[in-house]
Amino acid sequence: METETAEGGQVSLGAAVIFDGAYGWHNTYRVVDLATGHGMKLSDEDAGAVARYRTDPGGDDFEVVHDLADSAEDFLNDRVATEGWSFGWSDGEFLLANEAWWERNG
């Protein structure tokens, strides 16, 4: 973990890559999978859209799955992340990082 000096003393910067950007569009449904693994519920229609997106990312389900990924990020931040930490995207990677890291790099 990296540290930097701030007005109130030293601050630790921390981030963990959850999904590497090298996996590209696959990370969109992977975020949804992560959130559903932590209790986020999908309708049958949304689950079908995610299933179709896995094999046809340019199809009709693109916007639905991207909206679900946004909802999944919100769900993870509300239900999984601890105080001072949050999930989010940076340079194509999905991360869990602390506030100091987001302020510097986000």
18-31, pLDDT tens digit by residue?
A: 999 999 999 999 99
**What is the pLDDT of the chain when averaged over all its residues?**
90
Exposed e or buried b per residue across 28-51, where buried means at least 16 C-beta atoms within 10 angstroms of its C-beta: bbbbbebbbeeebebeeebeebbe
pLDDT of res. 104: 85
- Tell me the mean pLDDT in the region 52-75: 96
Selected residue with higher pLDDT from 9 and 18 = 18
pTM of the model: 0.86
Structure tokens at 91: 């340079």
- Tell me the mean pLDDT in the region 63-70: 97
Domain boundaries, the chain: 2-105
The 85-90 sheet, strands edge to edge: 15-19, 93-98, 85-90
Phi, psi of 27 (to 5 degrees): -65, -25
